[in-house]
A = this chain, B = another copy of it.
Amino acid sequence: MKISTKGRYALRLMLDLAMNNTGAPISVKDIALRQDISDKYLEQIISILNKAGFVRSIRGAQGGYVLRDTPNKYTVGMILRLTEGSLAPVACIDDMDACDRESQCATYVVWKKLNDAINGVVDNITLEDLMVIQNDMSNNYVI
């Protein structure tokens, strides 16, 4: 029941793009340095985000990536589902054919509730929300 590095790094990456946005492309190298993550691994992850149209890539020198849209358009759920795959705690939530016991399976109720609870959290936090949190943390640190 863990979110893997892929999902966690993707979220930090997107937040980094949002926080450091100046209009100019941001290179993977810069993000990797700031976030202390292997740049080669980040490349793989940002490639997923690029193919999904979450970010826009600019090739060549001084190239990099920028968010396609404003931070309030990206929920944590969107980012995690893209990189992690489904967040459902068990397969039968997504795929009814994964198990033929539903009609007899009381535990299904547990998984359904768990799924709703998870979605309730990740689908109601946006990158913009995280930017506010991040800014608050920085301000408190200065004080």
Contact = CB atoms under 8 A, between A and B. Distances in A.
- Label chain A's interface by main secondary structure: helix
A114 B118 contact: yes
A142 interface: no
A125 interface: yes
Contacts of A110: 11, 76, 121-122, 125, 130
A48 interface: no
Contact of A12 (B103, B107, B109, B121): B107
Nearest to A92: B8
A121 B89 CA distance: 12
Given A1-B1, A90-B8, A130 B109 contact: yes
Interface in A99-140: 101, 103-107, 109-111, 113-114, 117-118, 120-122, 125, 130-131, 133-134, 137-138
Interface of A: 1-3, 8, 11-12, 15, 36, 76, 84, 86-91, 101, 103-107, 109-111, 113-114, 117-118, 120-122, 125, 130-131, 133-134, 137-138, 141
